[in-house]
Structure 1
Amino acid sequence: MLISVKSSLETTVSSGAADESKESKSDIGNEIHLQPSILDTEQLQPQAQEIPLRYRLLAVSMILLFATGSSFAEAALSPLKATMIEELGINNAQYGAISSASSLVNSILPIIGGIGMDHWGATYAAILSSVFVLLGAVISAPAANTGNYELLIAGRVIMGLGSTVIESTQNKLYAHWFQGSWLACVFGVDIAWNRITGIIAKVTAVPMSNINGWWGWSLWIPAILCASNLGWVMLYWWFERSIPVQYRPPLGRDASKSENWRQRRFGLKTLYRLPMFFWVFCGSQVLQNGAVNVYTSNLADIQTRTRGTSKLAAGYNSSLSGIIPIVLTPLVGAFFDRWGWRMIIVSWTAILYITVFILIGLTKVHPLCPILISSFALSSGALPFLASIPILVGDDALLGTAFGVWKAFQNTNSVLLEVAAGAIQDRSQDNSYNNVIYLIVAIKCLEVILGPVYDVLDGRWLGHSLRMPEKKRIRFRTDIKAQGDPLIGWRSDRTAFTIVIAELSVAIVAAWVVSPNHESVRHASDILPGLHRVFHATIAVFQYSRIISGNQHADRGEEGSIRDQDVLFLELC
């Protein structure tokens, strides 16, 4: 039955396209902001709430697991610091290079990955990212067998090439399946699942290092999980191809039929298509997430220095802050979907963080008090921004690029502020955290003001879309599109684009200059040149499978292209 429905749909679509091709050809040629592939696929896309619930639940159950392996491998690293220093014969600085090996690469790569994702589809970007994650895990794990520190560094960098992009693919796919229904709630579930993964990884890291008296299992077990993640991604790819075409995400198999693979090029000019409000949003969030990262990364040490807490107790206390958000984060997302008012949470969260920073760093109250307060702040910290990006962009075809830009800002902010905080602490007497606390409190005071500012701009530029529940804002956006997009918040603006891109460029250069992790990139460079063959072979496999499955009724010219792809596939493999 499913096959008959699918064939009838494809027949209807192809006949409709033939009738409309003459009328739309000239219009498409004059369109400067939309690509032909986007126009072709958007005609087939229903609203997310119209997709059958069984498809959405199956999709989210697989997408949720895309990054589990990379998240587990990353979180399992910190409890193994003493073990790695002993087994690999390295010092604290070299361990620091391991723990942040992917930071520099991920200041640029998310943008490139996001642009490519919007052109070639989030599913194929997820497959390629999973391949890099698995390669990195498999390259780094043998360091336990050989005691090779450089091998571990190289593997972590290569893993970073895929880990940050695959998170953006998840966000883009969530937006397809749940936009207009429970999108923010799904974002919250994703954040909660990552926290669960992190807690499990930290709890099991040391026991894994004691299996059979060999610490290498703490690297090989995460590598096995990364392999299983690639399996989940491939299962989702099969699922996506087995459902009716009108329910599939755009720019997947349908876009490949309308354009030749080799003609699907992407460029940085895609960045200019992002709307003005999005750029203002990103540019005004300078160092905000970095302040939270400085707090979380130094929380245990702050307790030890200010209260004399033992390292074991400090680590236990710190872990408690991640438990409450597992439950509260999806509930905050459900609040956004049901009632809206996303920006008021921004100021409220900033006030909570200011309270936490002051209590933990400048007073002697029991550490559990600020830590429990911080758990509520963590529940609503990142979610308002993730839930707002699809609203600010207003175009599903640009969501991959938007999430990539946002991720680049976040990663760069973290590198800059963590280095700055370390330098400030080194210059203080007795390695005191007082000046660091003053800095991050000042940064969060700015965010208290930003919440009302965003709300005012939302009213002037987007008709208070950020205040609306999910279903209402989708209807509002549809009506505005029918009127020709009169709201300036969804329009491109050269001035905003230029200023914020310049800001990001300066921040990236500064992060590369001040970061102590150049050594990790140098070690990875010994392995990276050989990866281009793996990359192109993977591309050929996907391309070959798409052509075989999508051109069963090809004409003679297309059959010739299939033979050409056979040759290319065999040459690369």
Structure 2
Amino acid sequence: MPTTESTPIASQAADVDEKDRDVIPVLTQNELDGTPAATRYIPLRYRLIAFSMVIFFNTSSSFSESTLSPLKSTFREQLGVTNAQYGAISSASSLVNTILPVIGGLGIDYWGATYAAIICSTFIMIGAIISAAGSNTSHFGMVVGGRVLMGFGSMVIESAQLKLYSHWFRGSNLALVIGLDLAWSRVLSVISRSTAVPMSMINGWWGWALWIPAFTTVANLIICVMYWYFERRVPEKYRPPLGKDAAKKEGALRKVIEFNNLPKLPRFFWLFVGIQIFQTSVVGVYSSNLADIQTQTRGTSKLAAGYNSSLQSVAPIVLIPLVGAFIDRFGMRMFFISWTAMMYVIVIGLIGLTKVHPLGPIILGSFALSTYALPFSASIPIMIGDPRLLGTAIGVWKAFGNGGIIVFDVAAGAIQDLSGNNSYNNVIYLLMVYKSLQILYGFFFDWLDGRWLAHSLRKGEKERTEIRDRSIAEGVVLPGWKPSKWGMYIVMGELAGLTITAWAVYIVYSLGK
């Protein structure tokens, strides 16, 4: 065991019980994806070229998904569906992603994020075309089936993006880069939400609102192939390392994925994921129903409601990169989670239970949206510690998010149907109560961060990277980075139950048409 001196890691480790201490082998710079030599010194030109393509990987999927919310009443009219069945449409791409992100994450860690992005883009393109074709015959099954097929790529490609960002920018503006990616998603949201209803009016046929986004999926696939070509031209020492290459160096010629990464995931991550169940679903239900809430509670026209809804993504375009830069410099990730939850409780109450002008809560909600996803995306790589496990970890996180949105989306629609007059009141109460819990979660995890991770989550990017690098050099694993099989058993059991529930409610409502 290394001796404890005056370094932050050593002093932190000295306060940990002996059972929580562990010695790890000091890996070489080439073996560690994410050490300074492997990533921090990658020439800027390679980073910028990679970023200029990776940021567009999920463009067509995001564009297609964001057109759905303003079209809820259109779907009800054209396809004759109930509110719960609309929930089945809006969450269709999430169905397979109750399972697939975990498998996809293991694949990303083993075969690499680049090949995963190409495969995902292919599924997105085929699914979008099938879904759009369903509008030609007003066939509910084709619309849903196509979006299910899109789901085979839409979530895993996001994991591939984060894996690549963590390689190219670890220790250098990682949160800012993730923030720029999220800001681009908000730009797409503004464009798609504000144009969804106008697209549905082209030549008097609503199907154009599905076909135009479908056309963009072809360009998306081309960009992924271009990145693959670029990565092959980069000097090998700068390329993202692959799990299969490490396996070959160890003399193990593995032909299939080894499902041994799950037991390696650390205890902090398992606790964080297990407690956060359904939290991301609240924001998803709010966003997907925002336009319809306005028409039901205030009599706003579909066109105006679509435009109003798009405004929630305007402020984040500028604010998210600024939040990313703040996190890189000062940290405070868990406090952003509590702040965002508090904002959403206020926003959801104002839009659903009062008659104030919708632009008030929508604009306020744009500030909440600016600090919503980034703290999670910037925190998971820190909770994991080892970048080689990142794809698997993101996959587990995405699987929970997708299972939750299916259950919450369909349940919210069913609750609305039970009101008898399309009232959102009971839905709003549910969202507010559940989101209130997350206000407490942020403070709890900040406290736990101090005990388990030497406040890595509270630190800026440079400081938290130094904490991790020093822990490797000293051969000490802090408690939060230690694997936990019990954590894995409990949380994966939780995920299994959520998956079964999600598929059950989805099948009931999607086949009910």
C-alpha separation between the residues in 2 aligned to 1:500 and 1:84? 36
C-alpha separation between the residues in 2 aligned to 1:144 and 1:438? 34
The 5 Å alignment of 1:487-502 reads 487-502=478-493
**Contact 2:297-2:355 at 8 Å conserved across structures:** yes
Question: Partner residue of 2:53?
Answer: 62
What's the offset of the Cα at 1:442? 1.8
**Residue 336 in structure 1 maps to residue 324 in structure 2:** no
127-136 or 404-413, which deviates more: 127-136
Greater helix proportion: 1
Among candidates 110, 114, 129, match of residue 123 of structure 1: 114
The 5 Å alignment of 1:250-265 reads 250-251=241-242, 254=245, 258=249, 263-265=254-256
The 5 Å alignment of 1:163-562 reads 163-209=154-200, 217-251=208-242, 254=245, 258=249, 263-428=254-419, 430-516=421-507, 519=510
C-alpha separation between the residues in 2 aligned to 1:304 and 1:237? 45
What's the offset of the Cα at 1:400? 0.5
3-state SS of paired residue (1:467): coil
Aligned length: 489
C-alpha separation between the residues in 2 aligned to 1:90 and 1:38? 59
What's the offset of the Cα at 1:323? 0.8
Which one-letter code corresponds to 1:232 in the other structure? I
What's the offset of the Cα at 1:138? 3.6
Unaligned runs of 5+ in 1: 1-32, 524-573
C-alpha separation between the residues in 2 aligned to 1:184 and 1:442? 30
Evaluate the alpha carbon distance shift between residue 349 and residue 97 of structure 1 in structure 2; reply closer, same or farther with a 3 A threshold.
Answer: closer
What's the offset of the Cα at 1:300? 2.9
Question: Partner residue of 1:73?
Answer: 64
C-alpha separation between the residues in 1 aligned to 2:354 and 2:136? 47
210-219 or 107-116, which deviates more: 210-219
Which one-letter code corresponds to 1:57 in the other structure? L
The 5 Å alignment of 1:82-101 reads 90-92=80-82, 96-101=87-92
Which one-letter code corresponds to 2:43 in the other structure? P
C-alpha separation between the residues in 2 aligned to 1:122 and 1:45? 21
231-240 or 297-306, which deviates more: 297-306
What's the offset of the Cα at 1:494? 1.9
What's the offset of the Cα at 1:246? 1.1
Evaluate the alpha carbon distance shift between residue 304 and residue 517 of structure 1 in structure 2; reply closer, same or farther with a 3 A threshold.
Answer: same
TM-score, reference length from structure 1? 0.78
**Contact 1:45-1:249 at 8 Å conserved across structures:** no
Evaluate the alpha carbon distance shift between residue 419 and residue 141 of structure 1 in structure 2; reply closer, same or farther with a 3 A threshold.
Answer: closer
Evaluate the alpha carbon distance shift between residue 86 and residue 300 of structure 1 in structure 2; reply closer, same or farther with a 3 A threshold.
Answer: closer
Evaluate the alpha carbon distance shift between residue 223 and residue 367 of structure 1 in structure 2; reply closer, same or farther with a 3 A threshold.
Answer: closer
Q: Encode CA deviations 1:311-349: one digit per residue, 9 max, x unaligned.
A: 443333222111111111111111000111111111111
Unaligned runs of 5+ in 2: 1-23
Which one-letter code corresponds to 1:509 in the other structure? I
Question: Partner residue of 1:162?
Answer: 153
- Using CA pairs under 8 Å that are at least 6 residues apart, name the structure with larger relative contact order, 1 or 2: 2
TM-score, reference length from structure 2? 0.86
What's the offset of the Cα at 1:244? 1.1
**Contact 1:104-1:517 at 8 Å conserved across structures:** no
Query: In angstroms, what is the RMSD of aligned CA positions?
Result: 3.1
Evaluate the alpha carbon distance shift between residue 146 and residue 350 of structure 1 in structure 2; reply closer, same or farther with a 3 A threshold.
Answer: closer
C-alpha separation between the residues in 1 aligned to 2:132 and 2:251? 39
Evaluate the alpha carbon distance shift between residue 396 and residue 187 of structure 1 in structure 2; reply closer, same or farther with a 3 A threshold.
Answer: same
Q: Encode CA deviations 1:279-337: one digit per residue, 9 max, x unaligned.
A: 11101112211121222223233334444444443333222111111111111111000
Q: Encode CA deviations 1:67-89: one digit per residue, 9 max, x unaligned.
A: 111222222344556666777x6
C-alpha separation between the residues in 1 aligned to 2:493 and 2:411? 21
Question: Partner residue of 1:21?
Answer: none
49-58 or 94-103, which deviates more: 94-103
Work out the percentage of aligned pairs sharing the same amino acid.
56
3-state SS of paired residue (2:261): helix
**Contact 1:41-1:255 at 8 Å conserved across structures:** no
133-142 or 448-457, which deviates more: 133-142
**Contact 2:180-2:321 at 8 Å conserved across structures:** yes
What's the offset of the Cα at 1:363? 3.0
Which one-letter code corresponds to 1:109 in the other structure? L
What's the offset of the Cα at 1:430? 4.5
C-alpha separation between the residues in 2 aligned to 1:360 and 1:449? 23
What's the offset of the Cα at 1:392? 0.2
What's the offset of the Cα at 1:47? 4.3
Evaluate the alpha carbon distance shift between residue 468 and residue 86 of structure 1 in structure 2; reply closer, same or farther with a 3 A threshold.
Answer: closer
Question: Partner residue of 2:7?
Answer: none
C-alpha separation between the residues in 1 aligned to 2:132 and 2:307? 28
What's the offset of the Cα at 1:387? 0.4
C-alpha separation between the residues in 2 aligned to 1:482 and 1:250? 21
Which one-letter code corresponds to 1:198 in the other structure? S
Q: Encode CA deviations 1:426-482: one digit per residue, 9 max, x unaligned.
A: 444744433322222221221111111101110010000001110111111011012
Which one-letter code corresponds to 2:468 in the other structure? R
Question: Partner residue of 1:114?
Answer: 105
C-alpha separation between the residues in 1 aligned to 2:375 and 2:225? 31
Q: Encode CA deviations 1:17-75: one digit per residue, 9 max, x unaligned.
A: xxxxxxxxxxxxxxxx99x9997575998343311111111001100111111222222
Evaluate the alpha carbon distance shift between residue 196 and residue 419 of structure 1 in structure 2; reply closer, same or farther with a 3 A threshold.
Answer: same
What's the offset of the Cα at 1:238? 1.0
Which one-letter code corresponds to 2:238 in the other structure? Y
Q: Encode CA deviations 1:196-248: one digit per residue, 9 max, x unaligned.
A: 11222233345545666766554443333211111111111111111111111
**Residue 153 in structure 1 maps to residue 144 in structure 2:** yes
**Contact 2:197-2:303 at 8 Å conserved across structures:** no
Question: Partner residue of 1:546?
Answer: none
**Contact 1:187-1:387 at 8 Å conserved across structures:** yes
**Contact 1:73-1:222 at 8 Å conserved across structures:** yes
C-alpha separation between the residues in 1 aligned to 2:398 and 2:494? 15
What's the offset of the Cα at 1:270? 1.8
